[in-house]
Amino acid sequence: MTFLEHLEELRGRLLRTAIYLAIGFGVCWGFHERIFAILIQPLRQAGFTDQFIYTSPAEAFFLYMKMSFFVGIFVAFPFILWEVWAFISPGLYRNEKLWAIPFIGMGSFFFTAGAIFGHYALAGALGQVLDIDLLSPDALERHTRFLVKLSERLLGSAGDGERGGDAK
């Protein structure tokens, strides 16, 4: 294949990928209230009984849009993965293709297992988080300071003296 033929094939595969994403989004949009109920189930199991509030008129709409989009990516992922595989597989040798099969299978399994673990098994930890009184100004300030310091440490920018002001 020439370079332009590769670009033509890539364009077609990207177009199909965009269509798969749009279909995944549309399907998830049709079930957005059910999906939201499933996603907040661990909060309910951890004891969160308060009602969710929206601080702007369009916030609920955009929440459902974003949620539908990201769950739509999850739903469309097998089809997207197929398009990626169909694009790169002609350039691989037979032994490379044989290595890709277990890699894709195990990667998909562990991705799904991690998503299930994060959704269900970590629900118990939410109970600990929900017991913290984050609404008091003092607690909010302490937690914000902790998160800023943790982020600085993780990003490697702690102690460089560029923050100024209240860097303690």
The pLDDT score that the predictor gives to residue 168 is 46
From the list 142, 166, 167, the residue with the least C-alpha distance to 158 is 167
Q: Do 46 and 20 belong to one domain?
A: yes
Domain, as residue range, for 149: 132-168
Q: Do 105 and 142 belong to one domain?
A: no
Q: Do 63 and 84 belong to one domain?
A: yes
From the list 97, 102, 81, 100, the residue with the least C-alpha distance to 24 is 81
Chain segment 78-124, per-residue pLDDT in tens: 899 889 888 998 988 998 888 888 888 888 888 888 888 877 777 66
Query: Is residue 76 within 8 Å of 21, Cβ to Cβ?
Result: yes
Query: Is residue 60 within 8 Å of 54, Cβ to Cβ?
Result: yes
Q: Do 106 and 159 belong to one domain?
A: no
Q: Do 38 and 84 belong to one domain?
A: yes
Would you say residue 135 has pLDDT above 50? Answer: yes
Would you say residue 166 has pLDDT above 60? Answer: no
Q: Do 76 and 121 belong to one domain?
A: yes
Q: Do 72 and 91 belong to one domain?
A: yes
C-alpha–C-alpha distance, residues 47 and 43, integer Å: 7
Q: Do 91 and 158 belong to one domain?
A: no
Q: Do 96 and 168 belong to one domain?
A: no
Chain segment 37-90, per-residue pLDDT in tens: 988 887 777 777 777 777 888 888 999 999 999 999 988 988 998 898 889 989
Please state whether 93 falls in left (phi above 0), alpha (psi between -120 and 50) or beta.
beta
Q: Do 18 and 100 belong to one domain?
A: yes
Query: Is residue 68 within 8 Å of 28, Cβ to Cβ?
Result: yes
Number of domains in the chain: 2
Q: Do 137 and 112 belong to one domain?
A: no
Better-scored residue on pLDDT, 68 or 154: 68
Query: Is residue 73 within 8 Å of 21, Cβ to Cβ?
Result: yes
Q: Do 139 and 126 belong to one domain?
A: no
